[in-house]
Structure 1
């Protein structure tokens, strides 16, 4: 039995290494291609009209990268779960909302590409400071605006910012780190994040034929496993607010042959593209701490779950062993930014990630927030002495 486990682990390690080499090659090829185009533009070797036509074509193709929400399959009840009758009027309203959401996403994509074109050709001057400019494409469906929230403030790591700004700031962080996200996860956690995710999946209760929503699923670690577990009759939606992260996950899962997964840009605070009571399982892994309004996000998760459905949250938390907590702080605020600079060429983003962990609610507070959102039988399981915790809740 031990030999079999060792062989399986060796196979998984070999597969992970192979995927890592492939991802690095794809990243290098993409960077080299972008640099070549930029160099040619600067030297006036490519007329601006040619560049414009190419980017417009890329934009047109890109809008088809992610699943149109109205094309998602309708879920079926599993076990104790039941579905409510669909009202035709509300269904039509939902479709109208979905079309509006898709239109907004496409507009943001085009705006982002237009900004990139202006920057490359020198036709417009764009500041690149993270505090002032963000990729509009990633700032989708932001429920916080100066009109709705005024000058109300929240935290961005240890900084204080207006609520209307936080979503775009977080988007900028993950757009920056997307290509090296998986490699950095392995380095930062010494590979332990894989064990955390395995344990979380073991608590999910996922079964064949079920429908799963993985929120802030990024590069698709959990969605890849869920795809196998739900089988041909089941379905998985990998959702993320950040297009750069979702693109990495999409490429990875398609290459892995996961043909029962859709990829949808969505805001965790509203989950606007998804109908009520449409999923048996909702998961969010290392994403909740980046959400501006966590209470709103928990209520949205409750809304899209079927009765009897389960919410699973895997997130950094508060260490329960004081000596470990001090060592963890030292590691987080010294080693992480250094690794971020060396590997991803971005120390600032990893400084934010370390700070965001400290600002996230502790285990008991998050459990109470889940209960206030309507979840029942809530519990949590500490992993690695509370550095990470898995929270569970059920919809009655």
Structure 2
């Protein structure tokens, strides 16, 4: 069988075959073997970065440590410096995978993964999607995501979609006219599964509800829907199951890490214990008992290009009391939920539209530390930001142009530089807030 997706990964330098073999060996471990594996990988990755990464060595303050709990918690604020200052010896911007986080926490940064670590991320994705009969090489995906608006960026993303056997519906415009065209596509194409931002797919389901249509009646090939990046509320899940006519699978991941948790066929949110080590910590950085809420702190066990060791991802979560080291279960994620943007024209966009506006704000000089976007009226937005230097007029024009492009023209944007941003009672920062 011709496996285009695998070939594309190999061709781009990501050894997917080797990664898949290693992942299967980890999955086959006994509980005792897995405990030894986790302890060994934790020691190895810490020692590697203490010896090969100046940024991490300075953060820890020594090349020797006695206890895991002695290691500092890595925060997103620690990463607000140029990527080249954070890379391990031997790694450059050209010989590893680099990308930008979405900034959904309001604290964006650029990160890197070595090619093998990135291949393991794909192997992890493929394995979990396989629980539902989905094969990235052959299954056809309906993708509800953003897409670059510039010509070259757009064509590159469309080409990647072609190689990945998926068809993309942009979440930047989810007006009824666009939703009607999306429905038409479902009636004409044999999609196997849906994957994308929760809020966009929920909007589509509400549109189907208004028209009294169950999606599988027009697209009977559809098997499953995976939602990601935003909170899935119980009533939205019920709506999705009813209007799409397929099981809804909840995914929790982070681009800088991997899939963190993925709903298994038994309906449990199974945590990735193969490539990650996930801790739930209290405010004193001590592990809380299973069943209690705490900060989600994650270690990437394989990434040698960039340290993510005891990394506070910015979410609050609870591990189920039934959790084991080999099979941790995420009972609840008290995470971010992005609102839907409603504009003067009547157009609606997913809250993660601001992911692409964020790209206009980010520069790899670490100037903008944090920001939030608040919609105060239909046509008025306020961007509060913390930075070392005030944004200059050409930067502001660039952001305004991006908002005009991705949302719509003639919106009023106010920029307010602050020393500190207001936070919710859990200490979390919500990137987009609608006051409507």
Structure with the higher fraction of residues in helix conformation: 1
Structure with the higher fraction of residues in strand conformation: 2
TM-score, length basis structure 1: 0.26
